[in-house]
Structure 1
Amino acid sequence: EDPASASRPFAADRSGFVLGEGAAVLVLESAEHAAARGAHVHGVIAGAGIASDAHHVTAPAPDGRGQVSAMRKALAQAGLTPDRIGHVNAHATGTPVGDTAEAVAIGEVFGRATVTAPKAALGHLFGAAGAIEALIAILSVKHDVIPPTRSIGPAGVDPGIDLDVVTERRDVAQHAVLSNSFGFGGQNVSLVVTRAG
């Protein structure tokens, strides 16, 4: 299979994730510290939520309960309601069970949300995935763009995934983005990032 199109999160014919390579470095500091040193602030992590479902070592809980909890905690800490989120930067690895569970969880929190899946372009970076996807979310808010989910292919989006999966770049004004990072063992983290200033 062609590696460039093998990672197909949310696609009807998805069959698993593809390893990728990459990294991102985020400088996290208080607004006061950034102002004192004259830093150019690209975005703000306004909320974070952490939860564990401990369902299975490699499979998420089918009802997405830990993912729902992480997203709701991040929204609560940010002081935002789901309608204030421009889009969800999905964890979406391209596995049938993982994407379905995340879609269920996103639907529980947001209804039919607009989502993008960076792993379609990057592959799965494992330990680096959360950092680079947080950076993508920050840049999405900063530049008012929703990046596309690549490689959906002719099979289209899985009809069981009731989400607005972005397949072409969208230029959309947005105040905040929620970014999901989920891991083996039921580890679930969600961040809400907002525009600086």
Structure 2
Amino acid sequence: MTRVQITGLAVRSAAGEGLAPLHRRTVAGRALFRPLDRFPRSGPPAAVLDGDPDLGTALAEVVDQARADAGYPPDAPLFLALHADRRTATVVRTVDPAARVYTGACVAASTALIDAASAIAAGRHRQIVVAAGYLVEPRTYALFEAGRALARDGAARPFSRARSGLLLGDALVAVVLEDARSATARGARSHARLAGWGRAGDAHHVCRPDPDGAGLARAARTALGRAALRPEHLDYVNANGAGSALSDRSEAAALHTLFGPPRPGRRRPPRPPIGATKSVHGHALEASALLELAVTVAALHPPDGGDASDRLPATAGWLGLDEDCGIRPLHPDDPAPDRPPRCALTLNAAFGGANTALVVAV
């Protein structure tokens, strides 16, 4: 099994163009939500790009940027994660008619990434581009609002008491995964290594997560096992942290299963710092996992030349501990870690009980 490197990365979010502004906002824990002007709505805000970009055109540009960042690797197929609606076929034709398309809800991008990494590790491809895009639009916004899933107070507050739901956000992201030997042979730089991956299903309910978080815990253990790491080796976790009551409680149960209960007084606690960056950039649905992978890569390898030991991505909107979760995520004013982070775990979960976990290392 060959090592899988991330040799190209491009992102566009409500923070702006590129990874550096997104990293600065997540480290500062400064939420990007604002009132919607893309279409007439008077409900909760969202984290959106300026204007009303065309999804296909914008995503094609981000794919080209990732390819350029990787040095235009040859023969790289495209795995593409998108929201399934009437525009999907048009978007695919604009980006790449030959793309392999994933529409599996909020783990679509991480599922595409896992399939790509598995194909490269098994020697079936040298390079694969994985891209994902979601722009907040009237139909999905209305569905989430009608389902009372959006935060009524205009803030996403993962694991916090008094949280009232999630908030949506735009994301256009592309990464190039590459066989480490291929990358070395052509002198390509590496943003990070995709060291492990795992996925598991709850088989619990059509939309509610398993309250015990068993599926998410299994996915995380599988990812750590593939990376030959134990939970205590992790330096950072970017939680799914949607901000909804049921999802956060389920994920908290998974984290307690994975790391055990906190042990005050120990110099190095058994659990790593936990952040939840959807509170900053919003929930990008099918693109969320790839956006959060980019955030996690930046936590280990800051894009603006900063020291990775300075700060980790924080969580916005915190109002105090929810005893039903028992998770106190990173705050913007928390001290820097005592050593530069070397490996991190990023988690995602979707309706229907689908769970994914990715281990990133430098």
TM-score (norm 1): 0.92
Of residues 286, 294, 302, the one that matches 1:127 is 286
Q: Give CA-to-partner distance per residue, 1:135-185, whole Å, 9 cap, x none.
A: 111111124241110111xx3131332234101165322121000011111
Q: Which residue among 298, 301, 312 is the counterpart of 1:142?
A: 301
Which residue matches 1:16?
A: 165
CA contact (8 A) 1:53 1:187 kept: yes
Match of 2:329? 165
Gaps of 5+ in 1: none
Counterpart check, 1:50 vs 2:199: yes
Structure showing greater Rg: 2
**What CA deviation, in whole Å up to 9, does each residue of 1:60-105 have, x standing for no partner?**
1000010110000000000001111012100010000100110110
Distance in 2, matches of 1:57 and 1:6, equals: 27
Q: Is the 8 A contact 1:157 1:165 kept in 2?
A: no
Separation in 2, partners of 1:45, 1:193: 5
Alignment of 1:34-49 (within 5 A): 34-49=183-198
Shift, 1:2, TM fit: 6.3
Instruction: Confirm whether residue 101 of structure 1 aligns to residue 265 of structure 2.
Output: no
Cα pair distance change 1:171/1:33, threshold 3 Å: farther
Q: How far apart, in 1, do the equivalents of 2:166 and 2:360 lie? A: 26
1:187 pairs with 2:336? no
User: Does the residue aligned with 1:25 lie in a helix, a strand or coil?
Assistant: strand
Aligned residue type for 1:171 = A
Q: Deviations over 1:104-134 (max 9, x none)?
A: 1011101243210010011110011000101
Higher RCO, Cα 8 Å, sep 6+: 1
Counterpart in 1 of 2:317? 151
Cα drift, residue 189 of structure 1: 0.4
Distance in 2 separating the partners of 1:168 and 1:157? 16
RMSD: 1.6
Structure-1 residue corresponding to 2:45: 3
Which stretch shows the higher mean deviation, 72-81 or 170-179? 170-179
Give 3-state SS (helix, strand or coil) of 1:171's partner: coil
Q: What SS does the corresponding residue of 2:345 show, helix, strand or coil?
A: strand
Percent identity over the alignment is: 36
Q: Which moved more, 1:89-98 or 1:50-59?
A: 50-59
The CA distance in 1 between the partners of 2:237 and 2:180, in whole Å, is 25
- TM-score, scaled to structure 2: 0.51
Q: Secondary structure at the match of 1:158?
A: coil
Give ranges in structure 2 of 5+ residues lacking alignment.
Answer: 1-42, 47-153, 263-270, 303-307
